[in-house]
């Protein structure tokens, strides 16, 4: 709005003067710099996210001794009842059970095998959560990636142009499925189906969550792989076909190897997406913080833990800090994975196509 | 297009500073949000001119709001923690006022097909701490016990831990589900499951009778048993205010504690305190 | 080279089957959710309030909350995304460090997990900006802006959807022929005039696609608003920016996991899921058609 006004003022001024004067125009200067400034938002966003997630997680690195609370055994006033013994007891018991709590997120506490953040001695072991995230993500990749890559191969290399114009948008529409809907579907339908077919002991488990999450990562793996396959220069396949290779031989031995870094990037992006996914896992994995590698047991993932617990923790508490720390870890892990996909793989891909 | 945006933004900012008349705000426990909503509806119908605004979010959220001064009444399904009382004291030089507004029998759910009908507190504790993992150890058939519980952010989780497990940790293999409904649903679908939560009704589950110890009689979480205290795991649902209620707030709370207000408690499926 | 017809054929068949499986799953999910909720899909369901402790009635407040959320979000993310795309495509030199920084930031931003945006919203908007406003403007020691509300949730969501807008607008800016730009400049227009009068009007469809895709994304995401503003149940519609709101996605989540009676509300859950699915689905369908049309125009 401001820019437009300035611009019109500028226009009027110019009409009287030399209209071919191109040396300096305030409107141009402002427009370019305001645009530049606004486009800086994305970069600022990344910095802000980094800064503020870590800021809330910071107390974890500087543990403080907990003061004994002066209200430890004091009671709230009651209202609307006659003082009765039994009613006093629960609060009293609660208060005493909480005394002497060692609510400190030390390094030792964070690396242990138990996640029991609420209680007398809160245990903030991140290990089961990390294993949980890893299990669910790897399962999702195992189910989703082969399907997505094969589908990409089909639509990029074998399907007729017409068919391709149906397949591609259809699979991309799958990306518009909200994760909460996929989670709901997993909770209601997939879990029941698998339990009745395989007779799982646990209805909700890493396997079910992994299958559900495969739906969330298929579109991204498909799209990136498809792009990589179609980006292979035409002369690759033309040369191969001219030498007498068949269509599938060309696909398998010429185009696929050329596009490998791109497919690898697709897998990494899928991994990053799955690792940070929240709603599907929150609804479909059972959320038990186990540190086993059995894929038919329930898992509690890092993201789901934040989603389930953050709403009700006391702000500024150790538990709150630890949840932010998990968020910071998620941010760093996905950041590294995406950066690898971005820089290393793309660079390699470009090199290969330039024939180096 | 741009003008439209500008108008929208102005309208929204204007909205931002618009404040309605006399309102009582209630915030907190999701367990109690339906109860609180019914109270509000009924009270508003009888007392036009007063608005009672109810929001959920969880006990912790409600207490935080009380501390922060954004709500008049906070609903909580657990008593306030000492650390929370401390914060209230720092801000308002008051420990808050506790109002027991209803009673809730915490039920233990079993699948309909389970051959077990009653459990002692000790047995429940052993199941939830992971010492007992097979139904045959508590008199059932030989199959693994699938343990379901609530998320650690809920008041139910804390209450159960303090009063049934004696403060011990839950077994790591307990599957935490975010709400009573999810627990009930899971138990209904799994014949070896056990779960706990507030009053809930669904096909496929039954309530376990609970015994204080191995030799005493088992009681089901019925209205009489909870009210008389025979049912061993029942809790209060609390309301907290910053200071002793006065004026409209006092009228509202008095009404809740009156026979009329307590009748609503029964309708919603909890148990009256009086 | 290996000359094995069987291998070749099996690759074609397997890849075709995979494609078929994915599409079949997609159709099945839609049908399953539709059949679960079809008895509830009435006009009253869309325009009614939840009743009887959310075991009956409609989802009107959740729809209104979702619409408000995406509207405020678009007010923030569409202009920012469009301007960034204009910068990247019209002004930026491809090799400058600044451009590379922004491109990297956009890519990174699109890979940040949704839940981390939620944490960011809580840490930045609520605990820092909101609490800051409260401290400096109000002196009553109470919280006005420093708590979860509609504005903060929308802005958090805007951060998440800005890359969607940027990518889409940039794509359409690229389709504006350079001849047009050259013509504008040749007629004596300045660069900014050329962009404003020629380039942007010619890529309006791209801006629209970006906005639609962003809205679709914002309507479907739940994780970023979990602790920045969404409410389990509200008796009133949100009236100001500092109110909390209900949301379709969150409604599905709480109904499926936290309502008092699962069996009785199953239909409501399915119907809500179906409404949300149709909303995001049709939005991305429309975006796809617009995009398809301008690609065709470009070729012609």
pLDDT tens digit string along A133-152?
999 999 999 999 999 999 99
- Phi-psi group of A140: left, alpha or beta (phi > 0 → left; psi -120 to 50 → alpha; rest → beta): alpha
Quick one: average pLDDT of C35-45?
A: 91
CATH superfamily of B107-228: Periplasmic binding protein-like II (3.40.190.10)
pTM: 0.85
Per CB-CB distance under 8 Å, the chain B contacts of C236 are: 53
Q: What is the pLDDT averaged over residues C118-129? A: 92
CA distance C202 to A31: 19
Residue B32 above 60 pLDDT? Answer: yes
Q: Which residue has the tokens 């488990």?
A: A205
Instruction: Give CA–CA dist B186/A124, Å, rounded.
Output: 27
Q: What is the pLDDT of residue A271?
A: 94
The angle that helices A161-174 and C5-37 make with each other, rounded to 10 degrees, is 50
Q: Do B178 and C75 touch (CB under 8 A)?
A: no
Dihedral sign computed on CA atoms, order B230, B235, B237, B241: positive
CATH number of the domain where residue A212 is located:
1.10.3720.10
Q: Say if residue A254's pLDDT is above 70.
A: yes
pLDDT digits (tens, 9 = 90+) for C191-215: 888 998 889 998 888 899 999 999 9
Whether B180 sits inside 8 A of C258 (CB atoms) is yes
CB-based contact, C125 to chain A, within 8 Å? no
pLDDT for A97: 39
CA distance C228 to chain B (A): 11
Kindly state the percentage of chain B with pLDDT values over 90: 12
Tell me if A177 and C280 make a contact (CB, 8 A cut-off): yes
- Cβ neighbours of C181 (radius 10 Å): 18
**pLDDT score at A5:** 46
Q: Give C141's pLDDT tier (boundaries 50, 70, 90).
A: low
CB pairs under 8 A between B and C: 100
Min Cα distance C188 → chain B (Å) is 26
Chain C residues close to B41, C-beta within 8 Å: 235
d(CA B262, CA B256): 6
Q: What's the token pair of residue A5?
A: 């006004």
User: Has residue A344 got a pLDDT over 80?
Assistant: no
Would you state the pLDDT for residue A352? 66
User: Which residue in C88, C120, C257 is closest to A52 by CB distance?
Assistant: C120
CA-nearest residue to C149 within chain B is B16
Residue A331 touches chain C, beta carbons under 8 Å: yes
What is the per-residue pLDDT for A350?
A: 66
Domains of chain C from N-terminus onward: 41-299 (1.10.3720.10)
> Tokens 């932010």 identify what position?
A324
Instruction: Output b/e per residue, A181-211; b: 16+ Cβ within 10 A.
Output: bbbbbbbbbbbeebbeeeebbbbbbbbbbbb
pLDDT value of residue A92: 39
Tell me how many domains chain A contains: 1
**Is it the case that residue B182 has pLDDT exceeding 50?**
yes
pLDDT at A9: 45
Closest CA in chain C for residue B15 = C240
Q: How many CB atoms lie within 10 A of CB B18?
A: 10
Given a contact as 3+ CB pairs under 8 Å, which chains touch B? A, C
C-alpha–C-alpha distance, residues B44 and B252, integer Å:
10
Whose tokens are 């930031």? That residue is C105
Give yes or no for residue C225 having a pLDDT over 70. yes
* Torsion (CA) A42, A48, A49, A52 in degrees, nearest 10: -170
Q: Is domain B22-104+236-268 annotated with CATH 3.40.190.10? A: yes
The predicted model gives A228-244 an average pLDDT of: 87
Question: Residues 6 or more apart from C177 whose CB is under 8 A from it?
Answer: none
Per-residue pLDDT tens digits for A72-91: 556 667 776 644 433 333 44
The pLDDT value recorded for residue A93 is: 39
Q: What is the mean pLDDT of chain A?
A: 81
- Residue A162 burial (CB < 10 Å; 0-12/13-18/19+)? exposed
pLDDT at A322: 92
- Written as six digits, the tokens of A229 are 């396959």
Stretch C280-296: mean pLDDT: 86
User: Over pLDDT 90: what percentage of chain C?
Assistant: 49
Is the predicted pLDDT of residue C280 greater than 60, yes or no?
yes
C64 CA to centre of own chain: 16
C289 C-beta neighbours (distance < 10 Å), count: 12
A85 at interface of C, judged by CB pairs closer than 8 A: no
Q: What is the mean pLDDT of chain B?
A: 82
Average pLDDT over residues B17-30: 67
Residues 6+ apart with CB under 8 A from B13: C241
- Look at residue A87 in the predicted model and tell me its pLDDT: 39
Task: Answer whether B273 touches A (CB < 8 Å).
Answer: yes
* B220-250 residue pLDDT tens: 888 788 878 788 888 888 999 988 888 888 9
Checking if the pLDDT of B47 tops 50, the result is yes
Give the distance, in angstroms, between the CA of residue C26 and the centroid of all CA atoms in the same chain. Answer: 20
Angle at C29 between CA C27 and CA C31, to 5 degrees: 70
Alpha-carbon distance C8 to nearest alpha carbon in chain A (angstroms): 5
What is the three-class DSSP state of A299?
A: strand
Most C CBs within 10 A among B55, B93, B204, hence the mutation to make, goes to: B55
> Is any Cβ of chain C less than 8 angstroms from the Cβ of A250?
no
pLDDT of residue A4: 47
List the single residue in C with minimal CA-CA distance to B6.
C75
Pick the residue of A7, A8, A11, A45 with the most C CBs within 10 A to test the interface with C by mutation.
A45
Residues 6+ apart with CB under 8 A from A242: none
C49 contacts chain B (CB < 8 A): no
Residue C251 clears pLDDT 50, i.e. is over it? yes
Instruction: Find the residue in C nearest to A324 (Cα).
Output: C119
Degrees, nearest 5: CA angle A285-A275-C118 = 90
User: Per-residue confidence at B90, pLDDT binned at 50, 70, 90?
Assistant: confident
- How far is the alpha carbon of A301 from chain B, nearest alpha carbon, in Å? 12
| Cβ neighbours of residue B218 closer than 8 Å, sequence gap 6 or more | B117, B118, B119, B209, B210, B211
Tokens found for residue A288: 């038990």
Block residue for tokens 């396949």: A237
Q: HEC profile for C184-231?
A: HHHCCCCHHHHHHHHHHHHCHHHHHHHHHHHHHHHHHCCHHHCCCCEC
Q: Identify the domain containing residue A327 by its residue range.
A: 127-353
Q: Is C256 within 8 Å of A187 when comparing Cβ atoms?
A: yes
B230 and C290 Cβ atoms separated by less than 8 Å:
no
B126-162 pLDDT, tens per residue? 999 999 999 998 888 898 999 998 887 677 888 888 8
> Which residues are B238's β-sheet partners?
B76, B100
- Identify the chains in contact with C, defined as 3+ C-beta pairs within 8 A: A, B
At residue A100, the pLDDT reads 39
Whether residue A315 lies within 8 A of chain C, CB to CB, comes out as yes
A8-37 burial, b if ≥16 CB within 10 A, otherwise e? eeeeeeeeeeeeeeeeebebbebbbebbbe
Helix, strand or coil for residue B202? coil
pLDDT in the model for residue C136:
84
Q: Residue A243 pLDDT > 80, yes or no?
A: yes
Q: Does residue A197 have a pLDDT over 80?
A: yes
Asked if the C-beta of B146 comes within 8 angstroms of chain C's C-beta atoms, the answer is no
Question: Is position A68 within any domain?
Answer: no
Give the model confidence (pLDDT) of C159-197 as tens digits: 999 999 999 999 889 888 889 899 988 998 888 889 988
- Give B70's contacts (C-beta < 8 A, 6+ positions apart): B25, B27, C142, C143, C147
A-proximal residues of C, 193-212, CB under 8 Å:
195
Asked if the Cβ–Cβ distance from A311 to C227 is below 8 Å, we say yes
Mutual angle of helices C5-37 and A127-153, in 10-degree steps:
120
Residue A15 banded pLDDT, cuts 50, 70, 90: very low
Please judge whether B85 and A71 are an interchain contact, meaning their C-beta atoms are less than 8 angstroms apart: yes
Question: Which tokens in the block code for residue B124?
Answer: 């429940």
Model confidence at A103, pLDDT cuts 50, 70, 90, reads low
Q: Is A52 in contact with C124 (Cβ distance < 8 A)?
A: yes
List helix spans (H) across B131-179: 155-163
Nearest chain A Cα distance for residue B191, angstroms: 10
- Cite the residue boundaries of each domain of chain B with CATH code 3.40.190.10: 22-104+236-268, 107-228
Where on the phi/psi map is residue B148: left (φ > 0), alpha (ψ -120 to 50), or beta?
Answer: beta
Residue B71, class by beta-carbon neighbours within 10 Å (0-12 exposed, 13-18 middle, 19+ buried)?
A: buried
pLDDT for the residue numbered A144: 95
Q: In the structure, what pLDDT confidence band is assigned to residue C272 with cuts at 50, 70 and 90?
A: very high
What pLDDT score does A19 carry?
Answer: 47
**Cα-Cα-Cα-Cα dihedral of A211, A216, A222, A227, to 10°?**
-160
CB contact under 8 A, A176 and C253: no
Provide the percentage of residues in chain C whose pLDDT is more than 70.
Answer: 93
């Amino acid at each position: 709005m401001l820019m437009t006004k300035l611009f019109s003022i500028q226009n009027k001024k110019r009409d009287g003067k030399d209209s071919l004067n191109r040396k300096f125009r305030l409107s141009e200067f402002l427009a370019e710099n305001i645009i530049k400034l606004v486009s800086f938002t994305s970069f600022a966003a990344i910095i802000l996210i980094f800064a503020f997630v870590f800021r809330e997680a910071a107390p974890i690195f500087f543990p403080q001794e907990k003061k004994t609370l002066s209200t430890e055994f004091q009671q709230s006033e009651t209202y609307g009842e006659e003082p009765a013994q039994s009613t006093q007891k629960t609060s009293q018991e609660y208060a005493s059970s909480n005394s002497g709590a060692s609510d400190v997120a030390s390094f030792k506490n964070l690396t242990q095998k138990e996640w029991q953040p609420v209680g007398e001695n809160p245990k903030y072991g991140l290990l089961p959560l990390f294993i949980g995230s890893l299990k669910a993500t790897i399962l999702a990749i195992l189910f989703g990636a082969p399907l997505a890559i094969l589908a990409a191969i089909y639509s990029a290399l074998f399907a007729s142009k017409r068919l391709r114009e149906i397949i591609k948008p259809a699979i991309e529409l799958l990306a518009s499925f909200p994760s909460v809907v996929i989670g709901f579907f997993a909770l209601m339908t997939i879990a029941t189906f698998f339990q009745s077919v395989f007779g799982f002991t646990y209805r909700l488990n890493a396997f079910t969550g992994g299958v559900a999450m495969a739906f969330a990562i298929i579109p991204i793996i498909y799209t990136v792989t498809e792009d990589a396959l179609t980006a292979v220069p035409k002369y690759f396949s033309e040369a191969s076909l001219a030498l007498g290779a068949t269509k599938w031989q060309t696909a398998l031995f010429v185009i696929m190897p050329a596009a490998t870094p791109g497919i690898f990037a697709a897998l990494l992006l899928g991994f990053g997406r799955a690792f940070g996914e929240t709603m599907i896992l929150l609804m479909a994995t059972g959320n038990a913080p186990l540190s086993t590698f059995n894929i038919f047991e329930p898992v509690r993932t890092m993201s789901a833990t934040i989603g389930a617990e953050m709403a009700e923790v006391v702000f500024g508490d150790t538990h709150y800090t630890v949840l932010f720390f998990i968020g910071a870890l998620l941010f760093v892990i996905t950041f590294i994975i995406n950066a690898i996909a971005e820089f290393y793989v793309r660079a390699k891909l470009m090199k290969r196509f330039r024939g180096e | 297009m741009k003008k439209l945006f500008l108008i929208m933004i102005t309208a929204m900012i204007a909205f931002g500073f618009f404040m309605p008349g006399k309102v009582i705000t209630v915030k907190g426990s999701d367990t109690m949000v339906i109860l609180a909503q019914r109270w509000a509806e009924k009270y508003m119908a009888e007392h036009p001119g007063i608005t009672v605004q109810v929001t959920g979010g969880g006990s912790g959220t409600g207490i935080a709001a009380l501390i922060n001064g954004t709500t008049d009444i906070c609903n909580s399904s657990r008593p306030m923690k000492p650390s929370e009382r401390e914060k209230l004291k720092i801000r308002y030089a008051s420990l808050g006022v506790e109002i027991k507004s209803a009673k809730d029998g915490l039920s233990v759910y079993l699948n309909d097909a389970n051959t077990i009908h009653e459990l002692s507190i000790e047995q429940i504790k052993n199941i939830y701490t992971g010492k007992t993992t097979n139904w045959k150890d508590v008199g059932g058939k030989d199959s693994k016990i699938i343990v379901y519980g609530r998320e650690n952010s809920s008041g139910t989780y804390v209450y159960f831990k303090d009063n049934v497990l004696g403060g011990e940790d839950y077994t790591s293999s307990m599957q935490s589900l975010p709400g009573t409904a999810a627990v009930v649903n899971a138990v209904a679908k799994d014949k070896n499951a056990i779960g706990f939560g507030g009053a809930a009704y669904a096909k496929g589950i039954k309530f376990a009778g609970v015994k204080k110890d191995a030799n005493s009689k088992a009681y089901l979480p019925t209205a009489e048993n909870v009210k008389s205290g025979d049912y061993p795991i029942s809790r209060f649902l609390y309301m907290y205010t910053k200071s002793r209620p006065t004026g409209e707030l006092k009228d509202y709370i008095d009404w809740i504690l009156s026979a009329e207000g307590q009748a609503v408690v029964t309708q919603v499926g909890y148990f009256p305190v009086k | 080279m290996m000359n094995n017809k069987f291998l070749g054929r099996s690759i074609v068949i397997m890849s075709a089957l995979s494609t078929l499986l994915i599409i079949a799953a997609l159709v099945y999910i839609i049908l399953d959710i539709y059949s679960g909720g079809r008895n509830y899909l009435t006009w009253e369901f869309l325009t009614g309030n939840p009743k009887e402790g959310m075991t009956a009635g409609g989802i009107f407040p959740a729809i209104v909350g979702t619409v408000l959320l995406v509207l405020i979000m678009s007010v923030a993310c569409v202009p920012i995304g469009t301007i960034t795309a204009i910068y990247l495509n019209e002004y930026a030199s491809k090799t400058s460090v600044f451009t590379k920084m922004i491109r990297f930031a956009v890519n990174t931003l699109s890979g940040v997990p949704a839940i981390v945006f939620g944490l960011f919203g809580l840490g930045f908007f609520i605990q820092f900006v909101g609490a800051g406003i409260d401290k400096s403007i109000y002196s009553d020691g109470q919280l006005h802006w420093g708590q979860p509300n509609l504005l903060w949730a929308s802005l958090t969501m805007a951060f998440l959807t800005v890359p969607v807008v940027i990518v889409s607008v940039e794509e359409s800016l690229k389709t504006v022929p350079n001849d047009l730009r050259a013509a504008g400049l040749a007629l004596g227009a300045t660069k900014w005039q050329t962009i404003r009068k020629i380039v942007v009007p010619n890529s309006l469809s791209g801006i629209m696609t970006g906005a639609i895709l962003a809205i679709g994304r914002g309507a479907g995401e739940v994780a970023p608003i979990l602790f920045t503003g969404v409410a389990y149940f509200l008796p009133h519609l949100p009236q100001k920016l500092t109110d909390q709101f209900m949301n379709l996605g969150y409604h599905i989540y709480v109904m499926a996991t936290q309502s008092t009676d699962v069996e009785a509300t199953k239909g409501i859950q399915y119907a809500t899921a179906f409404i949300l699915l149709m909303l995001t689905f049709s939005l991305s369908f429309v975006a796809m058609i617009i995009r398809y049309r301008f690609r065709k125009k470009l070729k012609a």
